[in-house]
Structure 1
Amino acid sequence: MKFTARAALMATGAALVLPAAAQARPLTAEDVAKLEYVGDVEISPDGSRVAYTTVSRPDVTEGEKDGGARTQLNLAWAPESARPFLPADQSVRGLRFSPDGRMISYLWREDGGETAVWAIPVDGGAPMKVAEVAKSGVRSYAWSPDGGTVYMLAGAEADKQRDAERKAGFDAIVYEEEDRLNRMFRASAATGYDAEVDAEPVAIEVPGYVSAFQVSNDGRTAVIESAPTPNVDDSYISKRVHILDLASGRVTREVETPGKIGDVEMSPDGRRLSMIAGVDMNDPAATTLYFVDAASGAMTALNEGAPEAAVDAEFLPDGRLVAVIHKGVQSALRTYNADGSIAGEIDGGSLILASVEEAGGTMVVTADSPMHPTELFSVANGRFTRWTSHNPWLSDITFGTQRAYTYTARDGQQIEGVLIEPVGGAPAGGAPLILNVHGGPEAHDSNGWVTAYSGPGQVAAGQGYAVFLPNYRGSTGYGTAFSKQHQGNYTDPEFTDIVDAKRALVADGIADPDRTGITGGSYGGYASAWAATAQSEEFAASVMFVGISNQISKFGTTDIPYEMYNVHSRAWPWDNWVKMLEVSPVYHVDKAETPILIMHGEEDTRVSPTQSYELYRSIKVRKPETPVRLVLYPGEGHGNQGAAARYDYNVRMMEWFDTYLKTGDRKAEMPAPRPNVGVGDEADEADED
């Protein structure tokens, strides 16, 4: 490992003195690798403190050891007044305050042990273990109102017979038949330094595969989110909310939701729930907000049919509900009265709100903007006040102008998206353009922080590119009718909307028609593959990530076949084999003139890496003159989690666009197979040490 001066300071705990403000410069892939942002948030019962995690990854560009996300506990009490509350190498999640507010609890896995519930006193003291389930990690937990009991959701019980077979070499996997269901327990909370952790917590019977739960304020009932099996498809189409009597373990009510389920909250008096869910089984996403009567299960929609998407909600002590609402590329914070009428709304302005929490008269939101990733803000008197600034060096960055952009599709439909102009503006004749297509398609891009390891954003803008993120038909944020317009036809209108975005940006003098590229992951990867084959004449370069190339074989290799049927295809491949084949990029490889870089996680179960193999091999054999490269990431799934894999992806993506898009030369020599990621002689020397 390369041991830098920065790493030495971190190791010794010395204060890191930041240099004076540097000269303005563009954002780089190395900058993206070191970004950190606010994750979980929890407010103390009296509202005086806010606990939150910061999420970051090892800075592999500075020689730190590769790894996944790190989540550090912090405590804030006022704007720009926060401090880390645990060692930097102690990654935690599941923040809660004890009911008396004296401790912050969290989930943590001690070396050699299982994930358990821990806590640390707010006023000082060492961490202590509060509760655990022997030989099984705790997935989530909740305090009883009096603080004397901890309810825990834990993994499945150890299968000694299966473990013995595995050790003997009999490690065959029976696909989707060996369900491992979570279990629920209650245990006495050990909240003193000398207290013994309850060695045998009491099991509570729960239905099916429980993925989340919360306990009512009176401690009598719990709201359980449960599906029949752990299969991802069941989490989409079969998950239901149950109300559980904690004393008897009896389910007193099942809420018969019509579609997908998002955020669920319980009112202070326990009589109502708020639920973000789909309007029916064919609704692509949970974006409609409901009040649910806990006794009868009756659901009352609060914003059904509105051109918006509910994202998160929180009950207030007086029974009102506050909700984060996304309206196209912008956002707002809305308050509903107990009868479902709207009490008021605060425009998010330049902020894109993500979540809301309230306790003790204090309300906070997490939000990002075009100038920064997710930070913490308080809400009072109709205003948002920023509390945290985790990437102060961003003030040294020159950003491209970012704004909402609306255009008219060929059939007259208005389509919106987010446009980032090149730093300094587009030159005469237009700039090279990257269309960055979101996945789903049941998702949307907001006019906030859109730069990521797989999203070129401001990194590309700093290198002279324009970047456009289209909310094509099928996207959320514009109402259920808009998100359903893609169903039954994979390529039109979604992909015609994308081509129409290019043409509109060319007409406005922003984009160069001969230097337009495309990238995206999952469904955005499908769009990138389609652009490089069926619509190759429109695109000079493509970077496809975890994308789809064959809609027939996709059905046989994905973990969400029923979700695909219900909210995307609305038909099975065998209903019309030819139709399904004709909307597959592999079918159109004869047109493939666009240089395409294909990248995929080797362990992806959502979109099998065989989808990338198919497209790569088809182009390689059928169109050998077309530049194509396949890059696989070992250990990664449907999106890269490791710091090195993310940085490597970003560097490769921009190298590909620099080679083929910036130049407009489709026949240029491919970049070297291994990009320069700063690892070489120094790493060898570190190994010798």
Structure 2
Amino acid sequence: MPLADAAGARDTPQPLVAHGCWYPSADPTGERVAFICDRTGVPQLWTGPVHGSVDGPDLHLLDADPDPVTEVAWSPDGRWIAYTVAPGGGELTRVLCVRPDGTGRRIVAGADAGSSAYLGCWTRDGSAVAVTVAEPPPALGRLVREDAAAPEREAFGELPRELPPDWADRDGQATLLGGAHRGEVGPRPGGASPDGAARDRLGAYLVDPDGLASPVLVAAESGAATLRVCDVSPDGRLALVRRGPRGRREAVVLRTADLGTGSVLRVADGDPWIGRFSPDGRTVWLRSDHEREFAALLAAGLDDEGRRTGLSVLAERDGSDLELLAFAEDGHTAALAWNVRGASEFQTLGLPAAVPVSVGGGDAAGAAAPSGEPAGPPDGGNGTARWSGASAPWGGGNGTGPFGRATASWSEAAGAAPWGGATGTAPPQDVDLPHEVVTRIGRAGPGGLVLALSGSQRRPGVWWLPRGAAPARTPWSSRDEDAVPPGRPAVRPAPLRPRARDGLVLGGWYYRAPGRAEGRPAPCVIHLHGGPEEQERPVFEPLYHELTGRGLDVFAPDVRGSSGYGRSFVDADLGTGRYAAIADVADCAAHVVLSGRADPTRLAVMGRSYGGYLTLASLVWHPDLFRTGVAVCGMSDFGTFFAGTEPWIAESAAHKYGHPERDRELLRALSPMSRVDELRVPLLAVHGEHDTNVPPGESEQIVRAARERGHAAELLMLRDEGHEFRRADNRRLFRRAAADWLERHLTG
């Protein structure tokens, strides 16, 4: 769908006093970067040079529309920038493309009412961008022309009872791409979702942004909205797809010719960009926790059909997850970000120019994983895995991409890795970072990488990492001195490791209000993150600085179910383990009280999303522990949550919380609404009006129930926001309203 050209490239707004920049994607030369920036108050698409002035003429706003941008990807040929936007700030997103000069702006997926789309990878030649489209379950059935042949009618299913009202306006004849169940990598369509309704079907397509070629179906999935095309091999034969619900993600290698499955391997949750094919397509490198507690860098050998021939460990760390994985433009250098107790450690690693030794056999059938633990480095520590002496067949003729453009040929790269040492033989190269956490890694031409960094005392920014040099801040990223308002110094948190009542060691970060002497107990807010698979990180959080600036301490714990502590810790809250997670909140409060940090008579609990649920649960399970609570976008009743959320959210949540039919009694018992009579304290609920992940009714019903029982309860509904609060004015309103509420009830 063509759109008007963006005027922003010719009218660059002045920045706010402080702003963040994140999600960088560089052009093929590495000289310019597309990124998301909220300097106008809304996260929008910008481009700028890696060198230059803060407000130079080369800094451009490419899309001035007020819809928040969430993802960005510059095409490998430099012709297009693809990005995902959230219309109205809601959760139903769409994918757009625009030329680097701001012309040619168009919607390529997600324009239909009720549908949603998000980005996958670009093909290596830039001829197509992968998109995943979630289509709501049609009450009409599949669309087939009445004059369709009998075999076609049988394959596509029954005719719809009536056609959509805009059907007559469509150009040409409609065709169901791929036929029934073609490319299905998840459960077959037609099954029941957890709430008993028909499942949404997700389709992953390769789309030509020029509109000269028809979309090509790559894969389909029913249920959890996790389907993403992460890479297409240089010759176009294979696609790497991530699929599956939370806690059960899989990497699937598909053949693009027949959409057949070559191999399947478990991969870690978290960042969806799980890996990449080698230049010859004979190896796929993956960030995976296959048969292990923590995610590592694995290399899987592939045959001509995409079946796995071997599996080896390239890099691993005891007690630390490989959190982010990216690859330099040469195809032989990996960039690794390790999660070390919440902070990031960054490395580059030359990749082997050889086929890995088979470990435990292959999976010629395409589904079964090899038995046994993948072999680690010979010395048992950080480093590379064992490799055979045979050279990888990097050669071969030029292939042809899915849209007919010739892909590049590759030659063996047995020389030096770009960051030093021979490929596959040198130890990883450590890179010192100016911030605590890496949030994204991108290629920046043949000479380097771009990093999105964040820290507890700095706003998110983009840094350029040239070959052999230290990271350099881009000129348009916010200055460190602009991190917080004057008079409220940024607080660097201290790590804490509370112990739960059953002996499990938890984690978290404690923010002490400036000016308070050690040993003086303070009013304290226990803040609970979402997920529950998210993790508290030492990144810039304006809410915490708002609270500490008012004299309130903040403890942000990682209760069981959080990521960063291994697979067993993530799964420790499944089913009846949810009761232990609720108890963890009380144990974290006890830890900060007994250690002398917090005043036991002035405690509050607050959280967002799952943390909002845990806030409500803590208030009704531990009614005498907290003086007040602030629940943000939290579930108050699992029954109404499953009935009202998006079907793919329900599908994914069933694995984590319980099935709404089979586990009905457990979910009812775990729902705060079932114990609302135990509520004793004032409650503030905050919600985005367009939230379809956790519908606003979840906050409305708990506030109504609290008022009916005589408790002070308020609801702040944020306009033009969904599950995430993205607009600067709304974020500011939320922070001040929450801080006012907590300050009044803890210090008043």
TM-score range, shorter chain: 0.7 to 0.9
Unpaired runs of 5+ residues, structure 1, are 1-9, 19-30, 60-67, 121-125, 168-173, 190-196, 228-232, 664-689
How many angstroms does 1:277 deviate by? 4.6
Which residue does 1:95 correspond to in 2? 73
Over 3 Å counting, the alpha-carbon distance change for 1:166 and 1:307 in structure 2 is farther
Equivalent of residue 307 in structure 1, options 295, 304, 319: 319
Equivalent of residue 598 in structure 1, options 685, 692, 703: 685
**1:628-647 to 2 correspondence within 5 Å?**
628-633=713-718, 636-647=721-732
Equivalent of residue 34 in structure 2, options 25, 35, 52: 52
How many angstroms does 1:661 deviate by? 1.7
CA contact (8 A) 2:322 2:339 kept: yes
Secondary structure in 1 matching 2:307: coil
Which residue does 2:393 correspond to in 1? none
CA contact (8 A) 2:267 2:274 kept: no
Partner Cα distance (1:134, 1:396) in 2: 40
Partner Cα distance (1:627, 1:155) in 2: 43
Which residue does 1:205 correspond to in 2? 217
**1:164-243 to 2 correspondence within 5 Å?**
164=166, 177=198, 179=200, 182=203, 184-185=205-206, 187=208, 200-209=212-221, 211-213=227-229, 216=232, 218-225=234-241, 241-243=252-254
Deviations along 1:406-464, whole A, 9 cap, x unmatched?
A: 2432444433211211121258742211111101111101112123xxxx211111111
CA contact (8 A) 1:438 1:524 kept: yes
Which residue does 1:118 correspond to in 2? 98
The amino acid across from 1:221 in the alignment is: R
Over 3 Å counting, the alpha-carbon distance change for 1:556 and 1:105 in structure 2 is closer
CA contact (8 A) 1:244 1:251 kept: yes
Which residue does 2:574 correspond to in 1? 487
Over 3 Å counting, the alpha-carbon distance change for 1:165 and 1:544 in structure 2 is farther
**1:343-382 to 2 correspondence within 5 Å?**
343-344=427-428, 345-346=430-431, 348=433, 350-358=435-443, 359-379=445-465, 381=468
Over 3 Å counting, the alpha-carbon distance change for 1:132 and 1:325 in structure 2 is same
Secondary structure in 1 matching 2:565: coil
**1:13-162 to 2 correspondence within 5 Å?**
35-47=18-30, 49-56=31-38, 58-59=40-41, 69-77=43-51, 83-86=58-61, 89=64, 94-99=72-77, 105-106=81-82, 117-120=97-100, 126-129=101-104, 140=119, 145=124, 149-151=127-129, 153=131, 161-162=163-164
Partner Cα distance (2:514, 2:440) in 1: 31
Over 3 Å counting, the alpha-carbon distance change for 1:156 and 1:519 in structure 2 is closer
How many angstroms does 1:351 deviate by? 1.9
The amino acid across from 2:236 in the alignment is: R
Secondary structure in 2 matching 1:433: strand
Which residue does 1:649 correspond to in 2? 734
**1:421-432 to 2 correspondence within 5 Å?**
421-426=512-517, 429-432=520-523
Partner Cα distance (1:605, 1:15) in 2: 32
Partner Cα distance (2:102, 2:644) in 1: 45
Partner Cα distance (2:746, 2:110) in 1: 54
How many angstroms does 1:78 deviate by? 7.0
Which residue does 2:139 correspond to in 1? none
CA contact (8 A) 1:185 1:201 kept: no
Which residue does 2:345 correspond to in 1? 332
How many angstroms does 1:524 deviate by? 0.7
Partner Cα distance (2:605, 2:678) in 1: 17
CA contact (8 A) 1:407 1:501 kept: no
CA contact (8 A) 2:496 2:508 kept: yes
Partner Cα distance (2:105, 2:582) in 1: 53
Deviations along 1:217-265, whole A, 9 cap, x unmatched?
A: 63433525366xxxxx8587576534333xx454462424377583233
Partner Cα distance (1:154, 1:407) in 2: 40
Secondary structure in 1 matching 2:681: coil
How many angstroms does 1:654 deviate by? 1.4
CA contact (8 A) 2:34 2:74 kept: no
CA contact (8 A) 1:431 1:510 kept: yes
Partner Cα distance (1:611, 1:108) in 2: 27
The amino acid across from 2:237 in the alignment is: T
How many angstroms does 1:384 deviate by? 3.4
Secondary structure in 2 matching 1:401: coil
Match status 1:529 vs 2:616: yes
Partner Cα distance (2:450, 2:237) in 1: 27
Identity in percent: 19
How many angstroms does 1:74 deviate by? 2.0
Which residue does 1:566 correspond to in 2? 655
Supply the RMSD in Å over aligned alpha carbons.
4.3
Equivalent of residue 271 in structure 1, options 282, 290, 300: 282
What is the TM-score with the length of structure 1 in the denominator? 0.73
Match status 1:440 vs 2:531: yes
Over 3 Å counting, the alpha-carbon distance change for 1:154 and 1:515 in structure 2 is closer
Unpaired runs of 5+ residues, structure 2, are 1-7, 88-93, 136-141, 144-161, 170-194, 357-375, 378-382, 384-426
